[in-house]
Amino acid sequence: MDKLNKNEKGIKMYAIKFRLKFFGWLEFCFTAIFLFLAVHSVFAATLPVLTYNLEIRESSRRSVLVNITLENVSNTRLLCVLPEWDFETLKLNHSQKKISNFTVSGAGVIDPSFKRINNNSWLINTNKNEVLFISYKVSPLEYPEIGRAMERNFAFINGAEVFMYIREFRNTPVI
């Protein structure tokens, strides 16, 4: 009888140890997940956010107004370039002027400054602004059939011909 009680006690002790190990491991997993999410949210808040908005006026379909919003900017200088589209490749041809009304503003105390490098490239000094608003007009659009493919809810445009890319944010997803 004594031997049976020892076995029962052993089984009970084994069950208690197993429960402690299992819940200890589970607690460890939840703690690790919590720490990962906390650290990730801190770093995710500092990642740059790049948003493009496109505006096409119905009265003149030969030009497009583009607004770019940059958030969480940590760079001091940004290079904005509008490449030329040649059906198969992108070229950096700066002979043809496409950009007009280029403006940059910021959400900080000092507005950012910008300098024209050539017809389709601009260098922006951010002046420690974490949020930048870039606006420019692209005209004329190369292909006249683009105007015929526009409606109130649909527009066929060539993105390489309209959207500037920012060298420092080339690996940042666009919203």
Do 106 and 159 share a domain, yes or no?
yes
Look at residue 134 and tell me if it is in a domain.
Answer: yes
Please report, rounded to a whole number, the percentage of residues in the chain having pLDDT higher than 70: 54
Same domain, 88 and 34: no
| Residue whose entry in the numeric block shows the structure tokens 């493919």 | 149
How many domains does the chain fold into?
2
pLDDT tens for each residue of 93-131 = 545 667 788 888 888 778 888 998 887 888 999 888 888
pLDDT digits 0-9 by tens, 61-94 = 677 888 999 888 888 898 988 876 655 555 555 4
Q: Which residues contact 97 (CB under 8 A, 6 or more apart)?
A: 119, 120
The range of the structural domain enclosing residue 9 comes to 1-45
Q: State both tokens at 1.
A: 């009888």
Residues 26 and 91 in one domain: no
**Spatial CA neighbour of 99 closest among 82, 78, 124, 85:** 82
- Do 92 and 15 share a structural domain? no
* Residue 61 placed within a domain: yes
> Both 38 and 58 in a single domain?
no
CATH code of 87's domain: 2.60.40.3650
Q: Are residues 39 and 116 in the same domain?
A: no
Residue 174, domain member (yes or no): no
